[in-house]
Structure 1
Amino acid sequence: MQRKRAILFVLLMVGLYVILSRYVWVIYSYSHKMKIYQMDERDRIVQLKYQSESIVQLKYQSESTGKVTVQPIGKHSGKLTGKPKGVYFLKVHKCGSTTLQTILLRYGLLYNMTIGMPCSHPKNRQIMGIPEPLKSEHIMPLSTGLTHYDLIAQHTRYSIDVKQIMMPGTPFVAILRDPITHFKSLFSFFRVYEKYKKHILLPDNAPVRDKFIYFVDRIKDMPELTISPADGVPARNPQLYNFGLTDHQTKNLDFVRDSLKQFESDFDLVMLVEHFDESLILLRNSLNCDLRDLIPLKSSYVSRDKGPELTTQQKQNILEWNAGDKILYDHFNKTFWRKVEQYGFDRMSEDVAKLQELARTVKEFCHAIGKTIGTYDSKLELNVRLETQRCELYNADILHLEHFVRSRMTKSGIYNVSLAQRTCKYPPTLDGQ
């Protein structure tokens, strides 16, 4: 009798287990494969669907026109030959480079690339090796069996030696800005007026614009100082400084001109801040990726504050002060438009319009599902290769993206943290931070 009861009890438990398992599976399938978030936005319905292939779809419906588009974010459109490439991005101060850096880090995460991050820096972990030209010891070391990085997108000073640590065939990309607007931005961002306090004879509480005009009017009499001691950025020709030239070399204009040929050979693409969207289209071509991989979600790529209006003489003063940077910018402005011409002006206009519409679509979509991340969130530890995580990456700011990159590279065993703790001047923590 007791044996029969025991058998019945076991059968009952097995039955309950089967029923509960099926119930849990149904709940899981429903929540992860068929979950739909909806939000009315004027005459549109924005839907997010988690499908079995983890493909996120945008569906727009309008009462007047019916279905407008069905746009999969996570699938490539058109035909791509081969897989997307990694990239070395020379991040130049105040050239809209943080916007591009976030795009590229997001891109690298989505394609599971080996991303190089700074091994250490005295005051700023976002800086990689500066003021020295980039060397392998400036980067988080790789684990045994890994020899090259797929992607680097940090503030660096360029060196030809970078090619030794990047995956063979990796495109090299940089970005430049008109020297006049660039100098305006640097003056404010780096608080140049504080470094030149002894030379700008105005009250401390004078507006920054007044201090800028005072400086520019007397620029020929100003000493040449380092405006950012942490990374050695000079007051003159700071863009050439990022390209690896010394202060002395940047002022030798013949040397600068001779260096252009080498820069053009080393870099597959030099982008322009003033034509950021067109630059992204050319970048898409270089990386062999899709437009939706390079979506910019910021409404502007540089500060909206254009600073004070300058006279012709004041502009000339800035250009003479940054004569080396002017040569650099003018040269790559010409190469940029040659690339656009080769791409096709009409084709470029069409693709820029597609990119801008896609950016608006994705921004609206991600806003609708409430994925904005204000602080670092452990939810981001989910496998970001899943297309359903794109909105979290789209909305994460640069500090949180960098934190996550370090965490992911460490947890996946790509970084050799124990080696970094022995060799880095300022060792990272066990989690790679």
Structure 2
Amino acid sequence: MCNHMRFHISEVRKVMPEDSFYFSILRNPVTMMESSFSYYKYIPAFSKVSTLDQFLQDPWSHYNASLPNNHYAKNLLMFDFGFNNNEKDERHLNLSIALIAKNFNLILISAYFDESMILLKNTLCWSLDDVVSFKLNSRNNKTKHQLSLETMEKIKEWNSLDWKLYLYFNRTFWRKIDESMGREKMQDEVKKLRDRRSQLMKICLQEGGAVDPSQVKDTSFKPFQYGAAEIQGYNLNPHLDDRTKTWCQRLITPELQYTASLYDKQFPDMVLKASVQNKTKQTHSQTWKASKAMMRQRRNLNHQGAENQNLRHSVYRKRGSKRTAQTNLPNMT
């Protein structure tokens, strides 16, 4: 199971096997807050301020926990793990951390993404190519903002639950590395991963790296754009053999398109049913459009007949004591 979700262990266990391996990844709450302000600019908490600093001057005057989507503005990590992101009791935080540590086999850190992938690879006995990736959902530099030290401290204070949560699991992350492989070996494996990524980027990408959304040539690989952020994408090298192209496409496919592809594979019967329904709808739509076109053509001809008796005339003939009228029009199919 891999998707956007608010974690609820009892619900997840209803559909996952007992021996499932649970892992997650945390982002530094400081950089996450800067990103959230850009990406979720139009949620109620952020919509009436122009800058993040303006929000942080008096956040409680803008933040209302009861309004929809405002959880993006405060302690988002706690919220995503299924806990109360507005709780102030220190015991609540300690209990939350203990439950996360109990339920999850591994907590990774996004600021050390390559190290995280190596740790995940070694834990699950995967290969290097199982964890090689291109950076997705990345904003261009125009929508990124440098934070002052004062702003950083305000973010930590506003998201105090997330900050303490992050510090705790950042320590456990490095402890796992030290206990399992050591930092020197980790550096060697990270270098191999980065070399492999560079090699694949040269093979797969036309520009050798990410481009702004307006420059993505194949719209099926264009990332979803939301808020004030500009999410970058990639263009494939046009001279790839079919096998390499398929592999490269998987590396550049944005999350929504990839999710849709996985959904199609997971639920083929539903996809087939939807396909049949769409074809039926298209047939009905085409029939309706053709019918409307015929009706318009008839109306046009009738209108023209008022001016041109050669197109429309009435012939009367006796049938007993009654008279019937026949309208002669060109044959239409």
The bucket for the TM-score relative to the shorter chain is 0.5 to 0.7
How far apart in 2 are the matches of 1:186 and 1:340?
30
Does the 8 A contact of 1:237 with 1:325 survive in 2? yes
Further displaced range: 390-399 or 153-162: 390-399
Structure 1 segments, 4+ long, off by >4 Å, are 299-306, 415-418, 430-433
Q: Which residue of 174, 185, 193 corresponds with 1:355?
A: 193
Report the number of matched residues: 246
Does the 8 A contact of 1:410 with 1:431 survive in 2? no
In structure 2, relative to structure 1, the CA distance for the partners of 1:232 and 1:254 (3 Å cut) is same
Overall identity of the aligned pairs, in %: 25
In structure 2, relative to structure 1, the CA distance for the partners of 1:212 and 1:326 (3 Å cut) is same
Residue number in structure 1 paired with 2:55: 215
After TM superposition, the structure 1 = structure 2 runs for residues 244-283 of structure 1, keeping only pairs within 5 Å, are 244-248=82-86, 250-283=87-120
Deviations 1:154-182 (A, max 9, x none): 11111112133223322211111221111
2:205 counterpart SS class: helix
Deviations 1:24-60 (A, max 9, x none): xxxxxxxxxxxxxxxxxxxxxxxxxxxxxxxxxxxxx
How far apart in 2 are the matches of 1:402 and 1:300?
14
Does the 8 A contact of 1:220 with 1:321 survive in 2? no
Residue number in structure 2 paired with 1:345: 183
Residue number in structure 2 paired with 1:374: 218
AA at the equivalent of 2:53: I
In structure 2, relative to structure 1, the CA distance for the partners of 1:302 and 1:266 (3 Å cut) is farther
How far off is 1:399 after superposition?
Answer: 2.7
In structure 2, relative to structure 1, the CA distance for the partners of 1:390 and 1:168 (3 Å cut) is farther
Residue number in structure 1 paired with 2:263: 406
After TM superposition, the structure 1 = structure 2 runs for residues 110-121 of structure 1, keeping only pairs within 5 Å, are none
How far off is 1:196 after superposition?
Answer: 4.5
Deviations 1:117-149 (A, max 9, x none): xxxxxxxxxxxxxxxxxxxxxxxxxxxxxxxxx
How far apart in 2 are the matches of 1:331 and 1:175?
13
After TM superposition, the structure 1 = structure 2 runs for residues 417-428 of structure 1, keeping only pairs within 5 Å, are none
Deviations 1:322-380 (A, max 9, x none): 11111110110111110121221111000000000001111222237x9x993449xxx
How far apart in 2 are the matches of 1:179 and 1:393?
29
How far apart in 1 are the matches of 2:97 and 2:16?
22
Residue number in structure 2 paired with 1:189: 39
1:164 counterpart SS class: coil
Residue number in structure 2 paired with 1:166: 16
How far off is 1:225 after superposition?
Answer: 3.9
Residue number in structure 1 paired with 2:253: 396
How far off is 1:407 after superposition?
Answer: 1.9
The structure richer in strand per residue is: 1
2:266 counterpart SS class: helix
Structure 1, unaligned stretches of length 5 or more? 1-151, 201-207, 378-385, 419-428
Does the 8 A contact of 2:40 with 2:72 survive in 1? no
Structure 2, unaligned stretches of length 5 or more? 209-215, 222-242, 279-333
Deviations 1:215-274 (A, max 9, x none): 1122355433467x3x663522111000001244x4333211122111111111111121
Q: Which structure has the larger Rg?
A: 2
In structure 2, relative to structure 1, the CA distance for the partners of 1:196 and 1:410 (3 Å cut) is closer
Across the aligned residues of Structure 1 and Structure 2, the Cα RMSD in angstroms comes to 3.3
1:307 counterpart SS class: coil
Does the 8 A contact of 1:157 with 1:244 survive in 2? yes
Does the 8 A contact of 1:273 with 1:301 survive in 2? no
The structure richer in helix per residue is: 2
Does the 8 A contact of 1:225 with 1:235 survive in 2? no
In structure 2, relative to structure 1, the CA distance for the partners of 1:407 and 1:309 (3 Å cut) is closer
How far apart in 2 are the matches of 1:319 and 1:178?
10
- TM-score between the two structures when normalised by the length of structure 2: 0.64
